[in-house]
């Protein structure tokens, strides 16, 4: 038996590995008729079946019989903790009101804020749980979850504690993000700078000390916060060693992506209104462009993000649900891949890289997750599928045969 194999805790044999590892090849970077072994939660072996000596290996072996193995899906941008619902906004939009008009007239994020503030921690947890379970059932092994519907110190911390409890009680990695700068709360209308001060001087330090968040995000938009305010938040977040993310160029071009690049943010998200200069800035900084086709579809937007430019400049594109009640009420990463292909022309390979390799980078985990590579964390999915393009082309037709997290087969 080979040395590396004898050290493995478990083996998957006769698999078709969709590695997504650029060192292995372009596109899916497939390896046909391979074995994958894990040890101590990491991928320890990737080897061709041919010539593999398994004699004497007495630990568990899963014969995949040609099944596909992909990296676990990573949903790198969600707002899945919230109270209430926004069906009323949906009806108003069907009658012709825009998202911005609804937001300016007291609906939108502020109405979800009211419902979230009125909910107990337990209530928020119980509402969020099935949303998270839907993502897990589809194959997500990591989910990012933002605060942003509390909009004061007490309720933002409350939301982040719910995120922490979701992490403790589910077999999934969770990355938590402080998005207190999601909207200006009613108490600070006309005083948005004072609200930004509160976030910088009180929330960010407390969140950091209590280890309640991995990153800070800001909605940089005409109806929310300016690029200058976003910069102050970035400076404070950086002081506390938190990752940086930004909602950028969703409804208008405010220079937010360029700011994200200047500060080495993990990702700039949305980007429908981004111009070439912004694309160049992202490329130079290595910041990921996180695209959210669910919001584009649900808000009936017409301007696509500059996908051709992202390709030309080799800016990594991540894809995510943006799961939230107002602009993307969809708990399906498969649907998101499908929308990205059909609405924006992503290839199936790009869609899959968007929810694995590039999504990992968008959360600061690019060197540890997102591809099937020896030395990376062993988070992966086994699929009874013939063609990896079935992943973006079909929605709700298949669940993973196995979901492996940290080298262990898990069930939600």
Q: Helices 333-344 and 121-138 meet at what angle, rounded to 10?
A: 60
Whether residue 227 contacts residue 255, with contact meaning beta carbons closer than 8 Å, is answered with yes
Long-range contacts of 63-67 (CB under 8 A, 24+ apart): 63/13, 63/14, 64/12, 64/13, 64/14, 64/15, 64/16, 64/382, 65/14, 66/14, 66/15, 66/16, 67/15, 67/16, 67/382, 67/383, 67/384, 67/385, 67/401
d(CA 115, CA 231): 29
Residue of closest CB approach to ligand DI6? 326
3-state SS class at 257 = helix
Residues that bind ligand DI6 (CB under 6 A): 79, 108-109, 112, 182, 219, 247, 250, 295, 322, 324-327
Write down the least CB distance from residue 322 to Fe ion, Å. Answer: 4
Residue nearer to ligand DI6 on the CB measure, 34 or 219: 219
Q: Which two tokens stand for residue 405?
A: 């997290």
Residue located via tokens 């708990």: 331
Query: Distance from CA of residue 339 to its chain's centroid?
Result: 16
Please report, in angstroms and rounded to a whole number, the separation of the first and last CA atoms in the chain.
Answer: 34
- Report d(CA 52, CA 66) in Å as an integer: 16
In the complex, least distance from residue 325 CB atom to ligand DI6, rounded to whole angstroms: 6
Q: Least Å distance between CB 305 and Fe ion?
A: 14
Question: Which residue, 148, 111, 146, is CA-closest to 131?
Answer: 146
- By a kind-dependent CB cut-off of 5 to 8 A, residue 109 interacts, out of ligand DI6, Fe ion, none, with ligand DI6
Cβ 353 to Fe ion shortest distance, Å: 21
Beta strands in 156-287 (DSSP E): 173-181, 215-219, 243-248, 267-270
Strands 243-248 and 215-219: parallel
Nearer Cβ to ligand DI6, position 4 or 253?
253
Minimum CB distance to ligand DI6 smaller for 45 or for 203 = 203
Cβ proximity of 125 and 164 under 8 Å = no
Judged by beta carbon distances under 5 to 8 A according to partner kind, the member of Fe ion, ligand DI6, none in contact with residue 34 is none
255 interacts with, out of Fe ion, ligand DI6, none, CB within 5 to 8 A per kind: none
Site string for Fe ion, 318-357 (x = CB under 5 A): ----x-----------------------------------
Shortest Å distance, C-beta 77 to Fe ion: 6
Whether the Cβ atoms of residue 46 and residue 73 lie closer than 8 Å to each other: no
CB of 371 to ligand DI6, least distance (A): 28
Residue 295 interacts, among Fe ion, ligand DI6, none and using kind-specific CB cut-offs from 5 to 8 Å, with ligand DI6
In angstroms, what is the minimal distance from the CB of 295 to ligand DI6? 4
Of Fe ion, ligand DI6, none, which one sits near residue 267, judging by CB under 5 to 8 A according to partner kind?
none
Nearer to ligand DI6, 325 or 370 (CB): 325
State the helix-helix crossing angle for 153-169 and 108-117, rounded to 10 degrees. 70
357 binds, among Fe ion, ligand DI6, none (CB under 5 to 8 A by kind): none
Query: Is residue 315 within 8 Å of residue 282, measured between CB atoms?
Result: yes
Q: Which is nearer to Fe ion, 208 or 250 (CB)?
A: 250
Proportion of the chain in helix, strand, coil states, percent, rounded to 5? 40, 20, 40
Residue 373 binding: pick among ligand DI6, Fe ion, none (C-beta 5-8 Å cut-off by kind): none
Residue 18 C-beta: closest distance to ligand DI6, Å: 30
Q: Which is nearer to ligand DI6, 148 or 243 (CB)?
A: 148
Residue showing the smallest CB distance to Fe ion in the complex: 322
When CB distances are held under 5 to 8 angstroms depending on the partner's kind, the choice from Fe ion, ligand DI6, none that residue 261 binds is none
Closer residue to ligand DI6 in complex, CB, 1/228:
228
CB closer to Fe ion out of 249 and 322: 322
**CB under 5 to 8 A by kind: which of Fe ion, ligand DI6, none does 147 bind?**
none
Distance of closest approach, residue 318 Cβ to Fe ion, in angstroms: 13
**Least gap, CB of 324 to Fe ion (angstroms):** 6
Q: Which residues bind Fe ion (CB under 5 A)?
A: 322
């Amino acid at each position: 038996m080979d040395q590396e194999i004898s050290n493995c805790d478990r083996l998957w044999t006769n698999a078709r590995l969709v590695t997504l590892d650029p060192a292995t090849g372009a596109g899916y970077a497939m390896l046909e008729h391979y074995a994958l072994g894990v040890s101590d939660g990491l991928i320890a072996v990737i080897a061709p079946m041919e010539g593999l000596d398994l004699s004497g290996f007495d630990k568990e072996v899963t014969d995949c019989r040609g099944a596909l193995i992909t990296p676990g899906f990573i949903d790198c941008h969600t707002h899945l903790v919230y109270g209430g619902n926004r069906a009323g906004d949906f009806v108003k939009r069907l009658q012709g009101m825009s998202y911005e008009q609804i937001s300016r007239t007291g609906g939108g994020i502020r109405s979800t804020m009211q419902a979230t503030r009125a909910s107990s921690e337990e209530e928020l947890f119980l509402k969020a749980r099935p949303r998270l379970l839907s993502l897990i059932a589809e194959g997500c092994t990591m989910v990012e979850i933002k605060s942003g519907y509390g909009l004061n110190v007490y309720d933002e911390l409350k939301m982040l504690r719910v995120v922490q409890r979701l992490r403790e009680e589910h077999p999934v990695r969770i990355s938590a993000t402080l998005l207190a700068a999601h909207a200006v709360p009613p108490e600070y209308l006309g005083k948005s700078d004072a609200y930004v001060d509160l976030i910088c001087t009180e929330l960010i330090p407390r969140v950091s000390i209590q280890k309640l968040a991995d990153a800070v995000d800001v909605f940089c938009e005409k109806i929310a916060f300016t690029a200058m305010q976003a910069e102050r938040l970035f400076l404070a977040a950086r002081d506390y060693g938190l990752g940086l993310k930004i909602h950028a160029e969703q409804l208008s071009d405010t220079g937010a992506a360029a700011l994200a690049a200047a500060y080495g943010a993990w990702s700039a998200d949305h980007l429908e209104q981004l111009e070439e200069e912004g694309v160049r800035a992202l490329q130079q900084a290595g910041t990921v462009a996180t695209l959210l086709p669910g919001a584009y579809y649900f808000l009936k937007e017409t301007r696509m993000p500059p996908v051709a430019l992202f390709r030309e400049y080799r800016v990594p594109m991540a894809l995510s649900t943006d799961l939230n009640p107002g602009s993307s009420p969809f708990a399906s990463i498969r649907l998101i891949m499908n929308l990205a292909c059909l609405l924006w022309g992503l290839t199936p390979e790009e869609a899959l890289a968007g929810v694995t390799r590039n999504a990992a980078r968008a959360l600061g985990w690019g060197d540890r997750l997102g591809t099937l590579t020896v030395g990376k964390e062993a988070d992966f999915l086994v699929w009874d599928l013939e063609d990896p393009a079935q992943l973006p082309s079909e929605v709700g037709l298949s669940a993973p045969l196995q979901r492996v997290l940290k080298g262990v087969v898990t069930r939600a």
